[in-house]
Chain A
Amino acid sequence: MIVAERLTKRYGTTLAVDNISLAVKRGEIFGFIGPNGAGKTTTIRMLAGVLRPTEGSVLIDGIPMATAPEDAKRVIGFIPDRPFLYEKLTGREFMRFIAELYGIGEEIAREKGDALLIQFSLYDWADHLIESYSHGMKQRLVIASALLHAPRVIIVDEPMVGLDPAGIRMVKDLLRALALSGTTIFMSTHTLEIAQDLCDRIGIIHRGRLVALGTTGDLRGTARLREGDLEEVFLRLTGTEAP
């Protein structure tokens, strides 16, 4: 569903992402972890088509991002790490804006939009300006709007930031349910418990390179650890172990 081939991004003389290749299957939850500045957000933005790679290619559901970006983006629901929302729009107006851009019919957009607003506990606030929302509410609205067009692929950068425990539980359940129904999820996170709990496979990026890929068990093997949780594996593979 997601295929990245030799993905590379240079910022001037800095190599932010170095020759990353990976494939994520349909219905899979793929976790993408790495230390700060490892190249996670850059990779995610290239996969979502908002950043053009210096080298390499991205295929989303068989659609090449380089030559048919609009078709590829139609399949994706993208949730960035620091999402922007138009503060002077109401939640409902923002959902409608997204629906119109994805070409969703008015009737379906209204029904699906209301259902998502209810699901994300935003219905009572739907006609309030976004400027009056709390950080968590804004995050929930971004996730709701990304699901509006029933994307086949969800690319999400730090989905739990700003959410309360109930919100985190809700999003975790939602991602599981979406994956069960065949949606592919590519997720970056710093919360290793969530990655371990939720993801089928995990990729670890360090200094722009994909240093390990597989299930938690596979990663343990790569790190030459007989036992230990993802945290220990991560610290070993990224060389950031405490002395």
Chain B
Amino acid sequence: MREGRPAQALPLRRDGGAMDDLLVLLSPRLLSFKNGGVSRSAGNRRVRAALFVAVGLAFWIGAFFLFSRVLNYFQGIEELGDILARKLLSMVLLTFFSLLIFSSIVASLSKLYLSRDLLLVHSLPVTPTKIFLARWLESTVDSSWMVLIFSLPVFLSYGIVYRAGPLFYVTAGLAFLPLCLIASAVSALAVVVLAVLLPAGRIRTVFVFLGLLLVVSLLFVFRLMRPERLVNPDNFANLLMYFREMEAPGSPLLPTTWAYDSLTAALSGLGGETVFHLGIAWSCALALTFIVAWVADAYYFAGYTKAQTSAEKLFPPRGSGPWRKRPFPRLLSGPAWAFTVKEFRTFFRDQTQWPQLFLIAALIVIYLYNFSVLPLGQSKIRAIFLQNIFSFLNMGLATFVLTAIAARFVYPAVSFEGDAFWIVRAAPLSIRTFLWVKFGVYYFPLLLLAEILIVASNLLLRVTPFMMGLSVITVFLMVPGVVALGVGLGAAYPDFRSENPAQSVTSFGGLLFMLTAIGFIAAVIVLEAGPVYRLFMADFTGRSLTALEWLWLVVSFLLVLVTCVLAVVVPMRLGERSLRGDGRD
């Protein structure tokens, strides 16, 4: 031991002002954003940003025109039009609020308990309450900005169609902000309290599950309400009852009701009433801000400490069992089989995957339910004609659903290796085999899913045997392409450092996958559409196809086959080449 003079500590500020510390705690995020332009991935970022802006703008413009058109249509319906427009506004606000709650739960859970820099900031001389507040502010902005941006075309279309004055636009901004704050505060409160109560290590799973449950229930409620009935005059038999249902106000305790009341008051130019309802919303938002800070002061650090503990076992420990005999030894090498087994085990043991499976099941039920309620009999167009058009479009729609599922599971499959990717590099297994193992693991379940979707929806549509056969074969040819695009592009743009690889679909590579897959689906549908229409019409009118039409049919289907093969080969090779060349650790 040394008995030297004590180290001279630097003159430190005893305690920084709350705002100073908050700003300092937020500075890494702000500086990281600023430095993004000089990052080594800046070029990639710029392309990604341009892509995001283009897709976002297209969606924004589309939403604006859709809402403007719907509102104009409503305006044309005497007396009932305004009620419908108001009902739509309340439904939109409720949807936005639910989205805000869901994204706030995910964002605050991640920012408050799971971020990798928490160990660093908690070792610094800052109170946990200040850390909480900085993180809460970040999560509020993160969870709200996108909903805020996409709410603008809705408010803008209401403002333009109803020729609102400046009061409406100011109110729209002032009404939406407390909605964001309230959603974020309620979510943070729930996260902080439940983090103390829930068993350690299960916090993330439980919250993801609760969040998805909320979204699925909303989807079900919305779907079972059958909003398409609202615009069907046949259902207006009991007009009084309909009016009563439409005009029923929302609960006065719901923040969306305050936003709705202030917006409708502003649309009618009632300044005093607008301020009154805005006042209620803002007072609730501010009160919740204080409550959330107070609760965090008492419970945040206790919950954070608990979240650091390792996950308790959900099931009692069990032996790994005897070695499983390798099937198809000529097809699957030892390492390939080992990776296949690992893939299945890690997938089903990762409890964060389970809620996603429930979500998929729910989406499939809703998808099929939509087909069961299609008003085919009410249409003036002959039912058989409509049924077959729907069946044709259904091929595109089913593969699009498949693409969305692949974006969540297949695209991040390579990135999921994370820090363990060195094992793949060190293993006596080629990158090509590794990628084909990934392909195989996802291909069979997704093929089964796609065929179930297509056959079930075709049975509900009661299509002709020809359309059933065509759909089943086309989907059989397209599924390998979608899966290979996911695996290949996921390997070409891997993110082994991501805290949550499942979110990598929002990365540049993820967007590229979505766009390429949609392009691939569109190409196949367009190639088949022309000849199938001719074939269908020939059958309908009882004539036979001409030689030129036969040639068109054969060439089109050959091109479909070539496209499907290319969709498998090209991305898999691209991914393989990229992973082989990526020697970084």
Contacts and interface: CB of A to CB of B under 8 A. Distances in A.
Contact of B312 (A12, A75, A100, A200): A12
Contact of B5 (A11, A76, A108, A182): A182
A99 to B, nearest CB: 9
B10 A70 contact: no
A200 B6 contact: no
A80 B119 CA distance: 8
A88 B35 contact: yes
Interface of A: 11-14, 25-29, 45, 48-52, 69-71, 73-76, 78, 80, 83-84, 86-90, 93-94, 97-98, 100-105, 108, 112, 129, 131-132, 149-152, 178-183, 200-201
Interface hub of A28, A50, A97, A183 (most chain B Cβ within 10 A): A50
Q: For the complex of A and B, list the 3 residue pairs with the smallest distance between their C-beta atoms, beginning with the closest.
A: A103-B13, A88-B32, A182-B6
B11 A105 contact: yes
Given A27-B2, A52-B302, A88-B35, A112 B116 contact: no
B127 interface: yes
Nearest to A155: B123
A234 B126 CA distance: 38
Given A51-B308, A105-B13, 5 more contacts: A27-B1, A80-B123, A101-B25, A102-B125, A105-B11
A70 B301 CA distance: 13
Contact of A101 (B9, B14, B40, B124): B124
Interface hub of B10, B40, B122 (most chain A Cβ within 10 A): B10
Interface string B116-132: 11011011111100000
B31 A89 contact: yes
B125 A150 contact: no
Contacts of B302: 52
Contact of B117 (A14, A86, A101, A201): A86
B124 to A, nearest CB: 5
Given A103-B13, A152-B9, A88 B4 contact: no
A84 B12 contact: no
Given A49-B122, A70-B127, A97 B8 contact: no
What range describes how many residues of B lie at the interface?
35 or more
Nearest to A75: B9
Contacts of A129: 35, 38-40
A29 B301 CA distance: 30
Contact of B123 (A14, A26, A73, A112): A73
B122 A149 contact: no
Contact of A88 (B8, B10, B36, B126): B36
B16 A181 contact: no
Interface in B504-533: none
B9 A150 contact: yes
A149 B10 contact: yes
A131 B40 contact: yes
Nearest to B311: A12
A101 B305 CA distance: 21
A104 B10 CA distance: 7
Contacts of A52: 301-302, 305
B21 A101 contact: yes
B120 A83 contact: yes
B27 interface: yes
A79 B2 CA distance: 22
A152 B305 contact: no
A103 B14 contact: yes
Contact of A51 (B4, B8, B35, B305): B305
Contacts of B201: 12
B125 A132 contact: no
Nearest to B199: A12
Nearest to A54: B305
B40 A132 contact: yes
Contacts of B542: none
7 contacts: A14-B310, A84-B120, A89-B32, A97-B31, A108-B10, A150-B7, A182-B4
A183 B12 contact: no
A85 to B, nearest CB: 8
Contact of B6 (A12, A51, A84, A152): A152
B114 to A, nearest CB: 12
Nearest to A183: B7
Nearest to A81: B119
A152 B7 contact: yes
B79 interface: no
Nearest to A142: B120
Contact of B16 (A25, A73, A103, A182): A103
Contacts of B309: 11-12
Contacts of A182: 2, 4-7
A178 B7 contact: yes
Nearest to A88: B32
A12 B200 contact: yes
Contacts of B305: 51-52
B3 interface: yes
Given A70-B126, A101-B126, A112 B4 contact: no
Contacts of A28: 1-2
A234 to B, nearest CB: 22
A103 B39 contact: no
B290 to A, nearest CB: 22
Contacts of B583: none
Interface hub of A73, A101, A108, A151 (most chain B Cβ within 10 A): A101
A181 B4 contact: yes
